[in-house]
Amino acid sequence: MEARPVTSDTVSGPLATPTREDSVAAASSEPLGGPAGRHRLTGRGWWTPLRIVLAVACVTFGLGLLTKASCRDVGWDRDERVLWTGMCYSDVALLYRERGFADGNVPYFDTGNYPVLEYPVLTGAVMQVGAWLVPAFTALGTAPPDSAVRDSVAFFDATALLLWLCALGVVAAVARTVPRRPWDGLLIAAAPVLALTATINWDLVAALLVALAVLAWTRARPGMSGVLIGVGAAVKLYPALLLGPVVVLCVRQRRWRSWVPR
């Protein structure tokens, strides 16, 4: 489908200054000295808005890992009460044991006594990559010495690394979607939900593909956007929901023929 770059003032022009344009940001800035002044320097020096946003994302993600510490100590054992009372639950280590990864099984092929992996195929591929990284993370010695939980924790650590990279990708894509508003990336980077849910499951992989699809659309690359939506749907189903808003846009702009293959 044909797409054209947006050229309104919301995209072009100088970098936005949130504390001068948003009342919530302005009020929140008071403890730090108040809104930016007329002689501010925006986007200069090493600490550009994008780098600051990525740094905030690292802090938020790290805080999320700290909340998982009590479950990490017991290897996410279902029989441990802290798994349910410590607000540290995660599917990652549990599925490592309960879908055969711990025994070297390959998802969708080697099931044996384990249920077939219920996730879309690309999620299974990401899980398999994490399983391949387990020996390397075990060798680092960061997991508990108890062999019963060591590999599960190593799998969690490997998966957390992959999800951290996805989180940074999401934040960077959001920050670049509207060129003059890189600070919009803070809506993701500083979100409590990122800390609380980033490592519960593999959703950040799909979120990355969604963010990149939106970015490609704003750069007038509808083909790439469509590919990313399709790949995202092979990770989780919800990226396909982006097609709904795209249909609405085409209807509003009377561009129905854009859907007809050429």
The per-residue b/e assignment along 82-118, b for 16 or more CB within 10 angstroms, e otherwise, is ebeebebbbebbbbbbebbbbeebebeeeeeebeebe
Residues 248 and 206 sit within 8 Å (Cβ to Cβ): no
Instruction: Give the SS3 label for residue 91.
Output: helix
Q: The tokens of 123 are what?
A: 């999620």
In the chain, where the domains are located:
47-201
Distance between CA atoms of residues 161 and 139, nearest Å = 16
Residues 6+ apart with CB under 8 A from 22: none
94: Cα separation from own chain's centroid: 21
Over its length of 262 residues, how does the chain's per-residue pLDDT go in tens digits? 444 444 333 455 566 566 556 656 555 555 655 565 565 555 567 778 899 999 999 999 999 999 999 998 888 988 888 988 888 999 999 999 999 898 888 988 887 788 888 999 999 999 999 999 999 998 887 777 766 688 999 999 999 999 999 999 999 999 999 887 888 899 999 999 999 999 999 999 999 999 999 999 888 788 888 889 999 999 999 988 888 887 787 778 776 655 544 4
| Burial of 44 per CB tally in 10 Å (0-12, 13-18, 19+) | exposed
Residues 6+ apart with CB under 8 A from 238: 206, 210
**Taking Cα atoms as reference points, which of 233, 259, 228 lies closest to residue 246?**
259
The per-residue b/e assignment along 179-192, b for 16 or more CB within 10 angstroms, e otherwise, is eebbbbbbebbebe
pLDDT of residue 80: 87
Q: What is the DSSP letter of 255?
A: -
The H-assigned helical ranges of 44-191 are 49-67, 69-73, 82-85, 91-98, 121-139, 147-177, 186-189
Number of H helices, E strands in the chain: 13, 0
Q: What is the dihedral of CA 151, 156, 158, 161, to 10 degrees?
A: -160
Q: Indicate the length of the chain as a whole number.
A: 262
